[in-house]
């Protein structure tokens, strides 16, 4: 399902509502694409410092790194706006960015996975 169009035979509003119920989504050029990791990955976050999650709900205002970029421990990867304040989301580990699950303008919830880093 990830990376594919949701419910192409339904009207756009119905498609959006069904998609929101099933998972979070990103609207990209008229296509409804899921870009967030599944719930199993979210559940693994507590034991995995290589999954960087949002500490609070907010809106992504800047993504400072790209996939495959090297990242150091303590380095800022994403800027998240919450309650009119900019919050730096930093990496706790050194590695390489494997996947970025968000884009500028995306709304995220608490504990949503934003970035996956590999050793």
Show pLDDT as tens, one digit a residue, over the chain (119 residues). Answer: 444 444 455 555 555 555 554 544 444 444 444 444 454 455 455 568 888 988 889 999 999 999 999 999 999 999 999 988 999 999 999 999 999 999 999 999 888 889 999 98
Return the pLDDT at 10.
54
CB 58 within 8 A of CB 108: yes
> Measured between alpha carbons, how far is 83 from 24 in angstroms, rounded to an integer?
21
CB 36 within 8 A of CB 20: no
């Amino acid at each position: 399902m990830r990376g594919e169009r949701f419910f192409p035979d339904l009207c756009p509003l119905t498609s959006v509502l069904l998609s929101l119920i099933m998972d979070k989504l990103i609207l990209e050029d008229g296509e409804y694409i899921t870009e967030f990791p599944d719930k199993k990955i979210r559940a693994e976050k507590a034991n995995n410092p290589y999954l960087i999650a949002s500490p609070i709900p907010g809106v992504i205002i800047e993504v400072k790194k790209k996939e495959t970029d090297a990242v150091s421990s303590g380095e800022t990867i994403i800027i998240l706006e919450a309650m009119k304040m900019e919050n730096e989301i930093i990496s706790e580990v050194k590695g390489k960015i494997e996947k970025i699950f968000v884009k500028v303008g995306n709304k995220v919830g608490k504990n949503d996975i934003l970035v996956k880093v590999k050793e």
